[in-house]
Amino acid sequence: MIMVLQSGVTLRCLLIGGLVVALSGFTGCSSAPDRSGIAKGYAGEPPTDTDLARWVSQLRDNSTAIEGDSGVHLLGAGTEAYAARLALIAAAGESIDVQYYLFHQDATGTVLTWSLWQAAERGVKVRLLLDDLEKRPDDFPINILDAHPNIEVRLYNPFYRRSGRALQMLGQFARLNHRMHNKSLTADNLATVVGGRNVGDEYFDANKRVNFGDLDVLAVGPVVSEVSSAFDRYWNSELVYPYQMLTNNGGVEQGDKARAQAQVEQSITALEGSPYADALVDSEIAKHLKDASLSMAWAPMALWVDKPDLVAMNARESGGTFVIDRLLTLFGNAEKELFLVSPYFVPRNIGTELLTEKAEAGVKVTVVTNALAATDVVAVHSGYAKRRKTLLKHGVNAYEIKASPDVDPKAWSIESNSSLHAKTFVIDRRWVFVGSFNLDPRSAWLNTEMGILIDSPKLAETMLHNMQGMIDKVAYKVELANDDLVWIDTFNKKRYDTEPNAGWWRRFSAGFMSFMPVEAQL
C-alpha cells in the first residue's frame, strides 16, 4: 500500500478506499517508547554579532517601524521562496529550527538538506522536526542527518516501528490520524519563513509536471520569537520522539553515506546551469537581505498556532484558542470584505452558514479554490461542490483555479499543470493571515496548523491587488444561470456548462464521493 502520495494527502485517500472502516477493529502491536529520558531543548537568545543579526538590525533601522512591529516580505514565487530558505540557512550563525509536514528528497529537497548539513559543519545547531506520515525508505536521509553531532532529528506522532506502516495506520488510526501540518524555517531566532509550502520540487517551481501556486512570508522582528517558542512547544511535546529512540540502527552504513553523496551531486548537477538555477539567481533575495534593501511591510503581527498534544486536539469541539476558533471569530467580525484562498475548501454546514450570512448582510465574500481538473484530491472537491450552489445563491463569489492556464504567470513558472496550494485570508482590507491552514475539516479538527496574522491595511491592499491579477489570468468565475452552474474563463471569457477540462471519470468520482460518509476526514 502506498502510504504517501506526492500531494501528501494520503490519509484522505486511505479513508476514501474504505479500508479504515472495514478494518477498524484491527489492533496494532507496536507500543510507544519510553520518553522519560528525553532531554528538553529550547531556542537560544537571538545573537547580536552574526551577519544575520546585523542585516535584520539594518532592515529595521532603514524602516519606519514602531516598537512592537514585525516585518514581512511576501514570497509568492516558488524560486524566491526556495532562495529565501537557502539564504537563511547560509546566514545562520548559531541555530536553525526546521518544522515541516513533508520534506521530499528530490532535487530541491536534497540541496536544502545538504545546506543544513553544511551549516552544521560550520558549528550551527540544527533541529529538524518532521511529521512522520511521509514514508522514507530505510529512513534515508534523516538517518544521515541525525548522525551529525550538530543535528538532531525528531518526529511528530511517529510510527513506532519503522516498517509495516500500513498495518500500524489501520491498528492505531485514532492516534495516527492526527498529523503536524505546520511549516516553518527559523534562523538564529532572528528570521523565519512561515506559510503554505512544504519542501519539494512542486512547491518551489522546479517540477516539470506540476507546480503548486503557494505563498509564504519571510518575517523578522518580535513575531520570530513567537515562532521559536511554538517550535519549542512541539519539540518538547509528548507526541514528539527523537529519531534515535525509534530505530535500532547502530550507526550510518557506509553505503548510505555514498548514496547521500551521490544524491547531492546528482541534485546539484540537475539544478546547475538550468533555467531554474538562473531564476534562483535572478531572485536576488540573498543580496537584498544582506544590503538591507529587501522590501518589507512593518506592522503588528501575531502567530496563531495549535497546541501539539492529542488531548488538546480531541477537545477542540469545546472551543478555545485553536486556529479554527480564532479564524471563525475573525471571519464572523468581518464588516466589509472576506477574501479567502484555500486549495482544499470544505465549508461543511457551519462554514456555509457563516459565509452566506455574511454575504446576505452586505459583506463582499470571495472564495478562491481549485477547479476539479486542478485539484489533487477529488474527494475534497466533492465536499465543496455539493455546497457550491448554496454559496452562489446567497451572494458568495467563487473562483476556481485552472489546471492549465492560458498564460504563464511568472510567479508560478507553470510548464504543464498547476494547482493552488496557498492558504491566505484577507479580512476587511486590513487583516492578513498567511499559514498552513486549509478551510477544511482536517485542518480544523485533525491536524495541527499555524499561521501569522498581520494587521496591515497596506499589505492587505497589495495582496488583494496581486491576487485579483492572478485570478484574472488563471481562474474560472463560477456563476448560476437558470439554476445551473456555469464557469466563465476570466482570461478569454469562454463559457463552460460542465466542470472545465475535467474528464467524465473525474466528474463521476467527485459526484460519487459526495455521498460517502468521509467528509469529517477531508
Task: Give the pLDDT confidence of 278-309 residue by residue, as tens digits.
Answer: 888 888 898 999 999 999 999 999 999 999 98
pLDDT confidence of residue 3: 29
Pick the more confident residue, 280 or 26: 280
Q: Is the confidence at residue 53, as pLDDT, over 80?
A: yes
Catalytic residue among 104, 381, 402, 423: 423
pLDDT confidence of residue 511: 76
Does the N-terminal peptide bond of residue 141 adopt cis geometry, omega within 30 degrees of 0?
yes
Least confident of 133-147, 180-194, 229-243, 255-269: 255-269
Catalytic residue among 138, 428, 455, 489: 428
Residue 428 is among the residues annotated as catalytic for this protein: yes
CA angle at 441 for the pair 198 and 378, rounded to the nearest 5°: 70
pLDDT confidence of residue 318: 52
Q: Is the confidence at residue 414, as pLDDT, over 70?
A: no
Cα 399 to Cα 409: distance, rounded to the nearest angstrom: 17
Instruction: Identify the band that residue 18 occupies on the pLDDT scale cut at 50, 70 and 90.
Output: very low
Each residue's pLDDT tens digit, 452-503? 999 999 999 999 999 998 899 999 999 999 999 999 999 999 999 999 988 8
Query: Which residue stretches of 153-204 are H helix?
Result: 165-171, 173-176
The torsion angles phi and psi of 456, rounded to 5 degrees, stand at -150, 100
Catalytic residue among 73, 104, 178, 183: 183
Each residue's pLDDT tens digit, 375-405? 888 888 999 999 999 999 999 999 999 987 6
Distances (CA, A) of 212 to 6, 204, 208: 12, 8, 11
Fold of 49-290: Endonuclease; Chain A (3.30.870)
Each residue's pLDDT tens digit, 96-122? 999 999 999 999 999 999 999 999 999
Q: Is the confidence at residue 316, as pLDDT, over 80?
A: no
Q: Where are the domain boundaries for CATH 3.30.870.10 in the chain?
A: 49-290, 301-521
The torsion angles phi and psi of 188, rounded to 5 degrees, stand at 55, 20
Q: 210 CB contacts (<8 Å, ≥6 apart)?
A: 6, 202, 376, 416, 417, 418, 419
SS3 337: strand
Alpha-carbon radius of gyration of the chain:
22
Each residue's pLDDT tens digit, 333-361? 999 999 999 999 999 999 999 999 999 99
Cα 163 to Cα 148: distance, rounded to the nearest angstrom: 24
Cell, residue 223: 513575531
pTM of the predicted model as reported, rounded to 2 decimal places? 0.91
Pick the more confident residue, 364 or 377: 364
Return mean pLDDT, the chain: 88
Pick the more confident residue, 160 or 9: 160
Residue 181 is among the residues annotated as catalytic for this protein: yes
Tell me which CATH homologous superfamily contains domain 301-521. Endonuclease Chain A (3.30.870.10)
Distances (CA, A) of 241 to 120, 163, 199, 257, 380: 21, 17, 21, 24, 31
Each residue's pLDDT tens digit, 136-175? 888 889 999 999 999 999 999 999 998 899 999 999 999 9
pLDDT confidence of residue 6: 36
Catalytic residue among 97, 139, 188, 216: 188
Residue 423 is among the residues annotated as catalytic for this protein: yes
pLDDT confidence of residue 25: 43
Residue 183 is among the residues annotated as catalytic for this protein: yes
Catalytic residue among 73, 358, 402, 421: 421
Residue 358 is among the residues annotated as catalytic for this protein: no
Residue 290 is among the residues annotated as catalytic for this protein: no
